Structure formats: structure tokens, C-alpha cells
Chain A
Amino acid sequence: MARPQAKPSGILRYLASPFVTLVLLTALGFSLLILAPKFNAYALPGNQLGYEPTQPVAFSHRLHAGELQVQCLYCHSGAEKSRHAGIPAANVCMNCHRFVAAPLGAIRAEDELAKKEKREPRRVVSPEIQKIYDALALNEKMQPDPAKPTAPIAWMKVHNLPDFVYFDHRPHVNAGVACQKCHGPVETMERVRQVEDLSMGWCVNCHRGVDRAGLDGNGNFTSAPAPAAQGPMSVTHRVYASIDCSTCHY
């Protein structure tokens, strides 16, 4: 079983030379010097509490979810049947925005202006809503324009988890955990902000609390009926939040 022992290869010997050491140390010092002024901009990896990126479309959750009372699951329909809640496809936006192209105030103002100027009112399109039409390459008649390219909207993801965490929306939504519990009062936010630190300690504390005192903290352990379940549930399952590592890490 004896295997031949070789001398250190040429590269290794080269690496050990004082010249290389000097070059590397200089490079190290130089990069530290360059990076030092920017140090403030670097948060701890993983913790993005308060992260509130500018989105490509100035979509207002306050308006849609707050004022207009659109249900969360209307747009984020994946939350009850998939791991990801999902960002709605542009065709979901078009369910309403086929008809709604601008705020009511802007349309009324245009109507009045047109009446004053004695002309037909022009079609008013909000510049933000126009971005949806552009993404779908729609012309003014709301028909696909083959000459224009389609381009999906690249939203900024706000709630990020590390790659080794497998969070699943399904068990939470189906057990009746309110979206706001983790995402905060989204219906009051113009731009979505991360309000919880989404750290493991935060997750585990909630899981422990649920196991101890139920979802609402009152010792009620029956979960809300799963929206997906048809008819009476075959198993009345107790709310149970596992704190096994493999619940999230695999």
C-alpha cells in the first residue's frame, strides 16, 4: 500500500519564497486600504433589517392592500400552494389595469381640462402603470404590439434568506399565520420594508411559542382550516411548529 512520496512541487517552492510573501502582503495591505472607507456600507451578512430597496415600479402596497383592500393572496397566490409566495405575473396586474390606467383624480382633471378646452379627453396613463404595458409590449389599444419587445419586470427581492434556509410559505399560511406576523404592516407601506430581522433565533422563538401556547398565544392549538382542504378535514391536526434542524436546513 506504500505510495510514492513526492517532493513539494515547483509551485509550492515558488510560493514559499520571500519575494512572493512580500508581494502578497503588499496586496493585502493595499486592498484593506481601498476597502476601509467603504466599511460603513457593509452590514453583517444575512441581516438586512430595514432593507427598503427602490422598486422598478413604484407599486404602493398602502394603496392596493390598505386602501383598496386587495387580499394578499390575490397577487401572492403561491403562498398557500407553494414554497414561494411569488411575485404576481404581469397578467395578474392586467386583470385590473386593463381598465385602470391612471388614478381617478388624474382622469377627472383631464376630463375637466378637455371640457374647458372643448376637445375630446385624452387617455391618461400613469407613468408607473405604463411600465406594465411596456413590459407586456401593449399598444394604446391594449393589444400586443409585435414590433416591441416584451421584458419582464425585475423586482427587487426584499425578504432574502440565506441559500441554506428552506422557508416554506405553505404550512404558515395554511395554519393561519397572518402575513403581517413576518412581513409587518405591509398595508401601510408605500414601499415594502423588512421589519423583522428574519434571523434563526426569531424563527425558533416563534416556533417555540406556538408549541407552548398555540398560534394566538391563548392555548388554542387547532389551526385555522386549511383553505385548500375540501370538505371536512380528515385529520384535525394540532398546530405544531417543529424546531428540528431539518425543518429548514437540508
Chain B
Amino acid sequence: MSKRRTKRYWKSLQERDAGPGVLKTLADEFPEGGPRQFRRRDFLKATGFTLGVAFATGCSRAPVQRAIPLLSQPEEMVPGRALFYASTCGGCSAGCGLLAKVRDGRPIKLEGNPQHPVSRGGLCATGQANILGLYDSQRLQHPLKEGKRSSWAEVDREIQAGLASIRGDRGAVRFLSGTITSPTTRATIQEFLNGFPDARHIVYDPLSSSALLDAHEQTHGVRILPQFHFDKAEVIVSFDADFLGTWISPVGYTADYRAGRDLEAKRGSYHVQFEPRMSVTGSKADRRFAVAPGEMGLLLTHLAQRIARKTGTAVPCDEPETASSVGAAFLDELADRLWHARGRSLIVCGSNDLQQQLQSNYLNHLLGNYGSTLDVEKPSLQVQGSDKELGGLLAELQDGNVKALFVYGANPAFDLPGGDGLAGALRKVPLLVSFAQRVDETAALARYVLPEQHYLESWNDAEPVSGLVSVSQPTIHPLGDARSLVETIATWNGKPKSAYDLLREHWKADIFPRQKRESNFDAFWDRAVHDGFAEVEPLPIKSKEFNAQVARPILKAPRSETGAFALVLYPTVAMLDGRNAYNPWLHELPDPITKVTWDNYACIAPAAAQRLGVEDGDVVCLGSSGGQVFELPAYIQPGQQDQVVAVALGYGSKLSARFAKVGPQWLDALVSVGDNGVVGVNAAPLLRLSEGGLKYDGVQVKVSRTGKQRELASTQTHNTLTVPKKLTPPGSGPRQIVQETTLASFLKDPHAGVEDHEEKEDLWPTDHPYTGPRWGMVIDQNACTGCSSCVIACQVENNIPVVGRDEIRRNREMHWIRIDRYYSETESGQIEVAYEPLMCQQCENAPCETVCPVLATVHSEDGLNQQVYNRCIGTRYCANNCPYKARRFNWFNYAHDDQLQNLVLNPDVAVRSRGVMEKCTFCVQRIQEAKIEAKRRGERVSDGVVETACQQSCPARAIFFGDLNDANSHVSKMMANPRRYRVLEELNVRPAVGYLTIVRNRPQEGKEESKEEHHG
């Protein structure tokens, strides 16, 4: 008998330390307890009254329904049929392509555009959730003047008068924005500013990569952001760049990264991550080191010197300090690997420190990566901000020299350090105009607030990568009296025109001449609008020879005070810089790593927490040397550097004040916001703007306990899977929930790491003949990055309600797909992460089906566990019997009283009411649509026509779905993949979902050797 792996997977530290005993409580589907208990007798009393009232009011005739057709129906529009329009995501400046699904004149879902060269079919959680912003009833409907309702005519007149006098006085006009990738918008702003003697456009990014651009200005002579090609890199070394999570263009990078680790093509890149906290990218790394932010520069220098020696370049004799976190032996090995893969490797650095970025460039230059994995000829334009210019503007503002300031796509009063001082300086500006969709912190200070259109209701364009121009088109009649920036500025320029005309004019003049494929502009334009993008000649770049002189070695780490922690401020995949603070879906999205919702918190390493005597949910006080004091609940984060405390940015925004009463408002409901009235705490005041750069780390803070408690709404221990003892194979431990192997073993035997399970005889062999299709799914856990795009995609597609913080703490989250995140430890103590997306497994021998007393969940002829909401009486037996804990119960009628927000609901999916069980249905509405359409055309449902929502948006292409009865379907081939296993296969419930093993590119651990032989 071979020895089974002893590697343990655990979801929380509590589970790891307390042993299997704690699993019993975690295993309960509906654990008793919770923040507060509603007593049984009180419940019975309340029920009695409710029944009486319901009886008295409940009998009514079916309501009269009206059918109101269009007056004049456009040819392409058929009520009840969806149209897809190609557009560009405006959620951040990455410029991913999307397809807006429009039903009866309103967009209801955003999907990735598979042809778009940036995103290649993926769309992140933020992008998916953006559609809720369109139907936000708190979006500005009309211009505001000094906080009061005004009209466009009035604000136009007054602003133009104000500008005329400023022009006369030669006053300073400044336009402050986030990165604008739209060439038309940039040109329009420039044209506007050219009309003033002293005018400048200042671009900054709250999540700044300014140093990366500045470094290229020094080394290459041009201030550019190269295009990274993670797919061409065999060795990727990332210094705290969260490129799969939040850095610059995560969707595109994820697609590249996945292409570089295509195990079907026997490709597996080697990814090393040095980072202070556990990031999404770090969780996927083959080797990951928790490194204090101060040591990052040292590591870069160490590596650069080793590579330089190999190239024969003279190395400065000074040896940098040794970095305590990474051994010299590993650095030697890594240098060897990099050198071996020169030209096919990639160094990325997420720091906003110029010296570190210069070192990173130097490394890439030594390795010959420029021109292969880094493209400077076709640079990316996704980030353009300059912190130096921002610093200059802030100084001007402090001196009161700015006469007019326009703020667009940025919220400096929230996302910049400076607090009240900055707010005061902004208030001093005589003409402060904010272009905003909602009254955020900056708009609240502005004299004029001009409502900006949502990108789904206006024309726009984007050039995310030089030579790739992407179109954004309206998909709905504008809601409210908003106007897009280009139209507003054209009005001020004295040439009022529609955004459509402005866009076409600019394209005709500037974009059309950059291509040769089409000779007719209209044909070019039509094709671009149809495809969503057009490929043209990149803008010429005059880069110089690499200047290695500027990369000076970093020899010393900054000294830290004893007992102090290095603070690391980071963005989360949901909130980013805080632009999504209005979005309840994203607040409720469990963070990929911590699984916490509705809060930000101070992440502390386990050892440090023990030293401080802090546990999860204890409120700690962070005190900086500048006298700033922040109180945040603590979260113990495995894998974090010991001397680091990490806090998420983007929380504590004024825009989240609306969530005080989110979720069901029942007798025992608790509010979702903190004591400050908003969700989380804004950590931006702890940023540092020094040496012309925004610094996200390097501030030293003292951490102390406050004695207060704030229990976090974390889902990490909810829905824990357990294997009953009796099913454990004799003589060994239980079969692993997550199955993994190493690249070397995989190359030897693709089946490595899969713990086979003997198929048992079926009790009912012919019960489900599956004569037609049989739907199934395969999830590639090696590709999954945990980015949670699928969770939001499912939420939009299937009308999943928001339940609020309090309900999540009661284990009542409603997401149909969840991503279980497991930690495990290697022998060397490295924390490894495994993601396991889990939804209803559509079992063949489904335990839920046998226990339902009313047959509300039954098997369909094509292999689905159907859930019939109108039959369900809410016994919850099915959920109790579900080994995967994939079922969700509607404890309430979740709020649907916002009429505008209801427009986002998918008309093809029922909105479930209280007392009904629900779960993943493999997007049965999409299956039905495809079947009916195929039948209409007299065809079979061809492979790939049905895409589930989670599969469609997955940037990593980790989900495969299709007909298992069709031997040639993609999913059948993946099901036959030797890496495939099934979760909890030993229960013999025969799930229709297969999982592919994780393959880690690192040496085999000793204990697994014997298992290897077993399979080999």
C-alpha cells in the first residue's frame, strides 16, 4: 500500500490549528448561532401575525398586465431577443473589449469580446459589475451648481463667462484626470486647453505606475509603458506586481499568463513572486517569497549583479546588503534559470519606486527581454499618470495659483493623501468643476458638478495599446440629463456637436489615415463599430539605446524602527482605487484571498498576530509617525511577511454611505456599514507623495490592540467540504479535496497527482439514459487565478440578490458559484494556495433529489439537477444533504424596490422569493435558448454554442462546458484529460463537473515520492 500524501489543505488558520474537531461545526450547512438569535417563541408569535395579515391581504385577482409595443419597431429588434453590441469596458483604463447583451433596449449583461486583442474574451469582476452603475438611481441626473440643481444652459453660460475672464487675466487653467486612453477625448481636451495662455492637462492614477514610465524615460528616452507578453515568458519574476489581480491590465495579462502555462501543449512557465502580502498573483506563483517592502530593491540588485556577471558586464564592487527573506542559493538558481531563458523571461516590478523600476529595466535589458517579452515599439497606453506633475499641481493648489481646475475621472479628495489640507486647497480654486457620475468627495467640493454619462450610454473610443483603437458605443437611451465630456468641451469651445460626430471627425482625421486595409472611411468605421475595435499603425516611438548608467544599485534597505510594522497599501480586485464603492455586488464579492466581504481590514501575519495577541476581528490601532491613527479590524493572513501590515485602499468612500440599510431589514438586522457610516476605512491618508511618486509602502506604523471587536463577514469557513470517516480508504488518510502535482511529475505522467477512485456499482444503472445531450463542465484549477470574475458574472446572469454584511455573517450569502480557497504548506514552510471554484455539481446520483418531499429538485433528461422554484416549499432537506454545499436558501424576499436597478435583472431568469431553495443550474436559460434556436434552424446544438456565464467571462479560460455525450466536444476531451479528477468522488454521487489538477512548477516534495511510484 502506498503512503498517501500527508499534505493538508485548510481554509482558515483556525481549521489548521484546531484539527478535525472544528470541522464538525464548520460542516453544518446552517450552523446555529450567529451574531444574534431570534428566539423560537418570538418567531412563532411573529409567524402568527404574519399569517393573519397575509391571509387578509393575499387574495387578489391576478394583476392586470399591459403589453405596450413600440410605435415604430426597428428592423433588427424583436421583443424577447437579445442583441449584442461590441463596446469597450470603461471600468478602468485597461480598455478590455466587451459585448453588451441588450434585451428590449436595455443592456442586461456584459460579456467579454472574444475577438478583442486586449482581453480575448475575458472580463474581470469589476467590468462585469459595471452594469449596475448604469442603473444606479443615485447617479447624477442633472448638473449641480453649489450643490443645487441647475441646468446645462446655466452652467455652460457661467463656466464660459468664468473661463473668459481667466483667459483675460492669463490665469492658470488645469485639467486633472485619471489615465484617458481615448484619443478623441485627449485631443478634445488639448484643443480646449490650447485656448488658454497657461493651461495644462495633468494625468495621475490613484493606483500609480508612474515610476515604471519614468524609468523607461530614463532608460529608453521615451516615457512609455511597454507591452508585457507573459505568454512568451518562460521565467516570470515579479517583484510585488499583482498582474493577475489589479495591476494595469489584469484580464489581458491573465490570458497571456494562461497561454504560457498551457499544459495541453506541455508548456509551463516558471513564476517567482516576491511580495510582502499575499496577492492573487502570489497565490499562483510556483515559488513565492514573503519579502518586506524595504528588501525588494536589494533583491533586484542581487539578481541584477548575478546576471551582469554572467553577461560579463562590469559589476560595481559594492555588494548590497543581504536580504534576509531569500537565500543566496535560491538567487543563484533563479539567476541561472533566467540566464538560461534569456530573451524568454520577464521581470516585472509593481513598486512605484523609480530606483527599483530602473533595476527592473536593467535586468530585462541584461536578459535581452526588450523586443521579445517587452514590446516598446507598440507600447501600452493603459497607464499614463505622472506623479511628478501631480506633485507640481498640488504645490500650485497649495499656493492658490490655480484659477480653474477641471477634474474628470478622478477623485483626488478621496484617493490622494493630504486630507483636509488638500480639500481646503481645492476649495480655494475659484472655478472648480467636477465631471462625475456621482457626488463623490471631490464633487462635493466643486462649484459645478457636471454629470458624466455612463460608458454604456455614450459614444467614445479607447486606444489601450498603441495601434489598437477600440470603440465604445451607446447601448441604451441616456438615463437622466447627463452629457459626455467631449460634448461639453465642444460646447465650451463654441462648436457644439454630438459625441458621435466628434468621434467620427477625429477618426476620419487621425485614425483612418493610420491604416491601409480600408480605403473608404465609412466602411472602416462600420467595421470598427461592428468588431468593437480596429487595428491601425502604432504611433511612432523614438526610443534611444538602452541607458544602463541610470540604473544604480540599491545597496541598503531603509532602516525600520524597532517594533514598527511596514505598512503596505494595496488595491483589491473589487474596489480598486475606490471607484466601485457605490457597487453592492463588489462589496459583497468575497476577496479572492481573504474571503472577507463588506470591509477593509489590517492584514497581519500569523506570527506577528501571536506576538501582539491579536485574533481575527480584534480592532487594532495603526499609528503612523505622522500622528495619523486608524482603527481597523485585524485579519490574520497566512503567507504575509512578518513585519508587514497590509490595508486595502478604496474603502471608506462617501459613496458607500448608501449601504447602511442594504439587505433584508428584519427585526434582528444589523447595519452593513461601520461606525463611520460608510463601508470600511479610507487608507489613502497613509499614502505618501514623496520624491515625485506616490508610495504605497514604506510608512512605519505601530500596531496596538484597542480591546474592541468587529467580527469580519468572511466566507472562508462557510460551506466547508468534509469526507465522512467511513468513506476513507482503509490504511490511508482521506482523499484530498484538492489534487495537485508538480510539473516534472506531470511531464512524466500526466495522470500524476490524481488519486484514483474505484467506480462503484450503480444502484440504478439505467435510470438516466441521456439519449440527447448530457451537460457537463470541467474546471482547470491550474488555470484558475481566483479572480472572481465568474462570481459576479453568475450574479448578473442569474439575478442573485445582495444580502448585506449581517446576513453573510450568518452564513447566508447567495452566490451560486463560490471559489474555495485552500492553503497548504510545503516542507519549507511556503504557503501555497489552491482555488477550487465550486457550484452545483449536477450529480447523477444526486443526494438532494432523493430527499425532496415535493419533487422540487429532480433530474432532467440532459443531466441537470433541476430546481423548480414554484414547487419548492423550503424544507431545506436538499441543502442538508448536499455534500458540496452548493445550495442557497432564500431566507427573505430580498429587496427589489429600486425600480431603476431592477432594469438590470435578467428577464430569462425568475426572481426567487422567500422560502425557496436555489442553486446553479448550468445557466439553463442559455441551454434552453440554444436548444430552441438550434431546433428552429433544424440543427443540432453545436459545441461551444452554450456558454455558461461563468465560463464566458473567465479571463483564464479555466471553465469548459458542453455536451458530454458528444465525444468530439471540447468538454468531453477535457473530461478525458488524464489530469481530471472529481471532488468528493468517493461519495459516488457522480458529479457532472470534473476538475483538472494543479501542476506546480517546483521540485517534488520528499513525501510524495512513494505516491509517484504508485502511479508511475
Given contacts A31-B56, A250-B925, contact A48 B35 (CB under 8 A): no
A80 within 8 A of B: yes
Residues of B within 8 A of A160 (CB): 62, 65
Tell me if A83 and B37 are in contact (CB < 8 A): no
Residues in B whose Cβ lies below 8 Å from that of A168: 928, 932
Query: Is the pair B64, A234 in contact by a Cβ cutoff of 8 Å?
Result: no
| CB interface residues, B 845-868, toward A, < 8 Å | 858, 860-862, 864, 866, 868
**Chain B interface size, under 10 / 10 to 19 / 20 to 34 / 35 or more:** 35 or more
B72: Cβ under 8 A from any A Cβ: yes
Complexed CA–CA distance, A87 and B67 (Å): 7
Contact call B938/A24, Cβ cutoff below 8 A: no
How many angstroms between the C-alpha atoms of A249 and B939 in the bound complex?
24
Chain A residues 145-184 with CB under 8 Å of chain B are 150, 152-157, 160, 162-164, 166, 168, 170-171, 174-175
A228 to B66, CA, bound (A): 29
Contact in complex: A228, B33 (CB < 8 Å) = no
Contacting pair A82 B42 (CB below 8 A): no
Q: Nearest Cβ distance between residue B12 and chain A, in whole angstroms? A: 11
Q: Tell me if A105 is interfacial: C-beta within 8 Å of chain B.
A: no
**Chain A positions within 8 Å of B265 at CB level:** none
Residues of B within 8 A of A226 (CB): 935-938
Are A170 and B932 also in contact (CB < 8 A) when A82-B78, A91-B72, A155-B68 are? yes
Q: Which residue from chain B places its CB closest to the CB of A47 in the assembled complex?
A: B62
Complex CA gap A234/B62 in Å reads 44
| Main secondary structure on B side of the interface with A | loop
| Contact A155 to B925, CB < 8 A, known contacts A3-B33, A81-B78 | no
Band of interface residues on A? 35 or more
Query: CB-CB < 8 A to A175: which residues of B?
Result: 935
Given contacts A166-B908, A228-B937, contact A15 B67 (CB under 8 A): no
**B704: CB under 8 A from chain A?**
no
B49's nearest neighbour on chain A, judged by CB, is A24
- Within the assembled complex, what's the spacing in Å between the Cα atoms of A135 and B933? 34
Partner of B42, one of A8, A86, A135: A8
Q: How far does the Cβ of A234 sit from chain B's closest Cβ, in whole Å? A: 5
Complex contact B37–A6 (CB within 8 A) = yes
A63 CB–B CB distance under 8 Å: no
Q: Does A43 make an interface contact (CB < 8 A)?
A: yes
Chain B residues whose C-beta falls within 8 Å of the C-beta of A48 in the assembled complex: 62
Within 8 A of A (CB), among B48-84: 49, 52-53, 56-57, 59-62, 64-73, 78-81
Stretch from A96-104, A110-118, A238-246 forming part of the interface with B:
A238-246
Chain A 111-147: CB-based contact to B (< 8 A → 1; otherwise 0): 0000000000000000000000001100000000000
Q: At the interface, yes or no: A32 with Cβ under 8 Å from chain B?
A: yes
Partner of A16, one of B42, B52, B70, B858: B42
Who on chain B is nearest to A155 by CB?
B67
Contact present for A83 and B57 (CB under 8 Å): no
- Do A9 and B667 touch (CB < 8 A)? yes
Q: Is the CB of A237 within 8 A of B49?
A: no
For residue A233, CB closer than 8 A to chain B, the reply is yes
B322 at the interface (CB under 8 A from A): no
Give the distance to chain A from B105, nearest Cβ to Cβ, in Å. Answer: 13
Residue B921 interfacial (CB < 8 Å): yes
Given contacts A1-B25, A28-B52, contact A246 B65 (CB under 8 A): no
- Min CB–CB distance A130 → chain B (angstroms): 15
Is B726 positioned at the interface, with any CB of A under 8 Å from its CB? no
Contact indicator B69/A153 (Cβ below 8 Å) = yes
Residues in A with CB closer than 8 Å to B925 are 166, 250
Cβ-closest chain B residue relative to A43: B61
Would B936 and A246 count as touching, CB distance under 8 A?
no
CB within 8 Å for A88 and B936 given contacts A42-B60, A164-B870, A249-B866: no
List, in ascending order, chain A residues with CB within 8 A of B866's CB.
Answer: 244-246, 249
Chain B CB within 8 A of A5 CB: yes
The 5 closest A-B CB pairs, nearest first, are A233-B938, A89-B73, A82-B80, A84-B80, A229-B938
**Apart from A12-B42, A24-B52, A246-B860, what are 8 other A-B pairs with CB-CB below 8 Å?**
A5-B36, A16-B42, A90-B72, A152-B70, A154-B67, A245-B858, A246-B868, A249-B910
Between-chain CB contacts (< 8 Å), 9 pairs: A9-B667, A28-B56, A42-B60, A80-B936, A83-B80, A90-B71, A157-B66, A237-B938, A246-B866
